[in-house]
Structure 1
């Protein structure tokens, strides 16, 4: 028994000190770095026939432990299940290390670990285990997800090799069935743990609610992997409904805060609620540790497109160069937007399309065309110079910029930038140019009028829109044609917008 003493030494110390994190190390599937043989020693300490007797002796007759009968009984259940789990885990690891990964029974490992989780669940549900032990729930939920993923990957490998279902036609028939069977089951088990914490009515200092955000984050990770992102909204609604009886988010560990804000921001991003996404992602980035470069990279993957869309802010080269991944994704995009090159922007989108679609940011980045058009039209406006004083008119102190800009000047700028506004016969499709300009005007909610084929700028009550970029777009369209004659151009604009919405819905469905 001497070889097994360290696990009981840690258990006794944790119980006497009320140290939940030390207690959790006694049931973790990963041995401490300083004691790599801990799991082997624990398995050899007893056998399957006498494990309960030996454990009962350790728990009830140890003079250094002061556990009541119910608590000792709960830990007896937990360690008995843990002992059987260790045997399954070591067998699977040995098979995998011997390059026999297909012989590693990770499904059995998952099922045996689920027994450990169930024993812990009963202990908390019966109010036997105190709130200071909730790090054990962290370990339970974390590895439930890990082993579920390994079990599903092993099952998928067997299906691919024809070992499952006998191969042949049966393999095709069952190709879409049970591919994430264990992970879906793990999501249900973790949801039980989440509900267990949420329903606790104990005083807040002794409440299981301190594990809520950790469990919520585990569910977010699981639902995202299952591509069931809508289920994450149920978690957000549950937390919002119970917020009055919960500690504020700022009272939880920083790691819990960062992860929760990140996933909340990504969920809002996918719902096209970019203002909320920007708020949550910015908060996650600001409180993320400076050394957590991987976490910052994940946050910026969604924060950069969000900031581009909501505030037209582009990332600096210094920021992007801190991460080769971000540099590869976004540097071509920013290099196209700054000089207002539609051709370069299209090429950048096509080059990174696979990565952008995988991360569900493609259609958001595609809206960067609006920024390019704004910059382009602004340059046309500035290049137009100033009004020539009329004959006999006294010069004013400050020259006024030109208030009439011919459509052909915008068309020329679009052609130079690489926009597809040709009419197929070597000329320019004027309707297409007007359509692009009308879209820009609509997006700044400026009034439209029709008289001549010019864009006019006049002082109006909408001066809060008079930023340099919007000044170029805030021209009031006047044309010699009637409003009804221009409607086909605007109708095509609406059809194009509906087409993008359809593409976005299809992308969500495919992903």
Structure 2
């Protein structure tokens, strides 16, 4: 444990919050795989607080005015950390559970929060909140998985006797509990009234991103809006987003974009996702792939831009999912589009993009109808005319024949074809009107198919 507090002393001497946070890691580093076991063996439950106090005083009490109250706070934190390490090591030996690990880590979280409220922990130490919050969420997820598995193994007839049993709530009970503690950290950072250079507000976006991830995992993404509304009320007292680390900005912009996406505000979604994309380093392939997963459907619906093979080549999973759809949309192949959408359904639903991609069928239909329009050629030039004008009066029967072919030979009656065309006109994917009594569609002479150049 002496090495642990040498790290603590060095962090205090340099006021390096990330170095300090590393001393609270629940993971042994590759260069020292026995770190947690050595920490656990270095003391016992009856003397741990005394040992920690002695080590802090001997290693770091002289560093930058570490006073009595602050030492007292850190003793409580590292004693709770030692207890959590005990449960982690016991779990590795098959003698504990993830639920016990979560509970002990939750206690550590509460004690660390108390350190900021009662013992004067300085703002430079906020990376400790990052470390604690990050693993609180991961341990909650593992605990829920463990508990869900145990409930499934032992349920027998018990659930038949519990009319109020909610399996979904039970599955994620620990993560819901974790969300409450993450909100405590959010409030701790947001409400700090110290000058910005000494403020805990510098921890706000990391915690917001953890909350976003938690809400999405809980299928409660809409709760993220509450966090954003609270944040907006403090904007004047906050450092600008541009002043925060790039990784935090990328994650924040990504989740903002996805929130707009889920609210079907695709223009705003695209704006935020593009910002996230531009912030990403080009070798951050995983982040770029996540952003593209939502950016592609946005652009499909806002500008009708389809992904190219070159764009997708660095992302084989996305190429497998999106390129078949893109080809079908370009060709106006309705039947093949339905098949491609069905084949990727599980992944599209998981990513919450299925319903958006389903609307791509309208773009495929637009492209199919446009082919009919182009194939119709030009009207004969009238006397005095020199510029050819495309035929703008197209028989409904021609559109019907194309739709039947695009649907794999399935017969589609005229009324349904007229309904499809009327829907295209309503959605501004075509410009014109249907003259039913004459059995024709009268298209606009300019921009009959917006966004395509004709």
TM-score tier, shorter chain, comes to over 0.9
**1:51 is aligned to 2:39:** no
1:238-317 matches, cutoff 5 A = 238-317=230-309
2:422 maps to which residue?
438
SS of 1:456's equivalent in the other structure is: strand
CA distance in 1, matches of 2:83, 2:91: 13
Q: How many Å separate the matches in 2 of 1:181 and 1:126?
A: 29
Distance 1:89 1:248 in 2: 38
User: What is the aligned length?
Assistant: 446
SS in 2 for 1:115: helix
Q: Contact 2:332/2:367 (CA < 8 Å) preserved in 1?
A: yes
Structure 1 unaligned runs (5+)? 96-102, 423-427, 472-511
Equivalent-residue separation in structure 1 for 2:372 and 2:224 (angstroms): 46
Which residue of the partner structure matches residue 417 of structure 1? Answer: 406
Residue aligning to 1:169: 157
Q: 1:394 aligns with which of 362, 383, 396?
A: 383
SS of 1:86's partner is: helix
Distance 1:420 1:240 in 2: 54
- 1:409–1:127: structure 2 CA closer, same or farther, 3 Å change rule? farther
Match of 1:358 in 2: 350
Measured after TM superposition, the shift of residue 216 of structure 1 is: 0.5
Please state how far the C-alpha of 1:126 moved relative to its aligned partner: 3.0
CA distance in structure 2 between the aligned counterparts of 1:333 and 1:399, rounded to whole angstroms:
34
1:21 is aligned to 2:21: no
CA displacement at 1:169 relative to structure 2? 1.0
> Alignment RMSD, CA only?
2.0
1:320 deviates by 1.7
Q: Secondary structure at the match of 1:338?
A: helix
C-alpha distance 257-378 of structure 1, shift in aligned 2 (>3 A):
same
Which structure would you say has the larger Rg?
1
Distance in 2 between the 1:244 and 1:408 partners?
Answer: 62
Q: Report the CA distance between 1:458 and its aligned residue.
A: 4.9
Tell me: CA distance 1:466–1:353, structure 2 relative to 1, closer, same or farther (3 Å).
closer
Task: Give the aligned partner of residue 485 of structure 1.
Answer: none
Q: How big is the shift at 1:430?
A: 1.2
Q: Does 1:71 align with 2:63?
A: no
Do the aligned partners of residues 470 and 430 (structure 1) sit closer, same or farther apart at CA in structure 2, a change above 3 Å counting?
farther
TM-score of the pair, normalised by structure 2: 0.93
Work out the CA distance in 1 between the residues paired with 2:2 and 2:341.
60
CA distance in 2, matches of 1:348, 1:22: 49
Contact 1:374–1:469 (Cα < 8 Å) also in 2: no
* Cα offsets for 1:309-359 (capped at 9, x unmatched): 111011111222212211221121012111110011011111111221222
- Do 2:212 and 2:224's aligned partners in 1 also have CA atoms closer than 8 Å? yes
1:284 and 1:74 mapped to 2: Cα distance? Answer: 38
The 10-residue stretch of structure 1 (54-63 or 73-82) with the greater mean CA deviation from structure 2: 54-63
SS of 1:178's equivalent in the other structure is: helix
Partner of 1:89: 88
Q: Deviations over 1:151-194 (max 9, x none)?
A: 111111211221xxxx4211454461522111111010001100
| 1:172-211 equivalent positions in 2, closer than 5 A | 172=160, 173=162, 174=165, 176=167, 178-211=170-203
Deviation of 1:432 (Å): 0.9
Matched, 1:137 2:129: yes
Q: 1:470 Cα shift?
A: 7.4
Contact 2:52 2:79 in 1 (8 A): yes
Give the counterpart of 2:220 among 215, 219, 228: 228
User: Is 133-142 or 48-57 further displaced after alignment?
Assistant: 48-57
Q: 2:115 and 2:172 mapped to 1: Cα distance?
A: 29
By how many angstroms is 1:49 displaced?
0.7
Superposition pairs for residues 469-488 of structure 1, below 5 Å?
A: 469=452, 471=454
Distance in 1 (alpha carbons) for counterparts of 2:255 and 2:58: 47
Equivalent runs, 1:313-462 vs 2, <5 Å: 313-389=305-381, 394-418=383-407, 422=411, 428-444=412-428, 446=431, 448=433, 450=435, 452-458=438-444
Deviation at 1:457, TM superposition (A): 3.6
- In structure 2, distance between residues paired with 1:333 and 1:397: 41
Residue pair 2:76, 2:111 contacting (<8 A) in 1 also: yes
Flag structure 2 segments of 5+ consecutive residues without an equivalent.
Answer: none
Distance in 2 separating the partners of 1:433 and 1:33: 65
TM-score, normalised relative to structure 1 = 0.83
**Kept in 1: contact 2:378–2:390 (CA 8 A):** yes
Alignment CA distance shift 1:217-1:256 (3 Å): same
On the 8 A contact 1:374/1:470 being kept in 2, the answer is no
